[in-house]
Amino acid sequence: MQASAADAFAVLIEPTTYPRWLIGAKEIRHVDDGWPSPGSRFHHVVGAGPVQIPDNTEVLAIEHGRLLVLKVKARPFVSAVATFTVVGDDEGSRCVVSLQEEPAVRWIGNIVRPVMDPSIHVRNHRSLQRLADVVENRS
């Protein structure tokens, strides 16, 4: 994207931006004090159409400016670990953000993966495109 790594990471760690770029995110209900330290959460509503599910996302690990690992949930259907990696430097005008999403429970993931992977890939690709728009318009 046409932004520094710092600008991209700033949007990733700002939960209020998620409904603007993450497909399925509808509303941020609350952000824990201490966000984005490991163990802190933001509470949200996710869904599509009339299906709305309140749940939360927890920081599992963070390396400021470079890595954000989140435990994402939309129970009872989804529990996954999402790893965002930002590559670039703060002085540069370009960076790359990648997203790897893995099922939190491996054996369930192995069962549903052949069906879910194509749609998750498309969703995540579109979400990253929308993230780029948010970051580039904010910079």
List, as one string, the DSSP characters of 61-129: EEETTTEEEEEEEETTTEEEEEEEEEES-SSSS--EEEEEEEESSHHHHHHHHHHHHHHHHHHHHHHHH
Cα-Cα-Cα-Cα torsion 68, 31, 104, 12, nearest 10 degrees, comes to: -30
Residues 6+ apart with CB under 8 A from 48: 24
* 124, two tokens: 């995540």
In this predicted structure, what is the pLDDT of residue 89?
Answer: 74
- The pTM for the full model equals 0.88
Asked if residues 34 and 15 have their Cβ atoms less than 8 Å apart, the reply is no
Residues 6+ apart with CB under 8 A from 132: 1, 2, 3, 97
In this predicted structure, what is the pLDDT of residue 102?
Answer: 84
In this predicted structure, what is the pLDDT of residue 120?
Answer: 75
* DSSP 8-state symbol, 14: -
In this predicted structure, what is the pLDDT of residue 53?
Answer: 86
Domain boundaries of the chain, sorted by first residue: 5-21+60-138
In this predicted structure, what is the pLDDT of residue 74?
Answer: 65
In this predicted structure, what is the pLDDT of residue 19?
Answer: 95
Predicted confidence pLDDT, tens digits, the chain (139 residues): 999 999 999 999 999 999 999 998 999 999 999 999 999 999 999 888 888 888 899 999 999 999 999 999 766 666 889 999 999 976 778 999 999 988 766 655 555 555 556 667 788 899 999 999 999 998 6
Nearest to residue 52, comparing CAs of 26, 91, 18, 20? 26
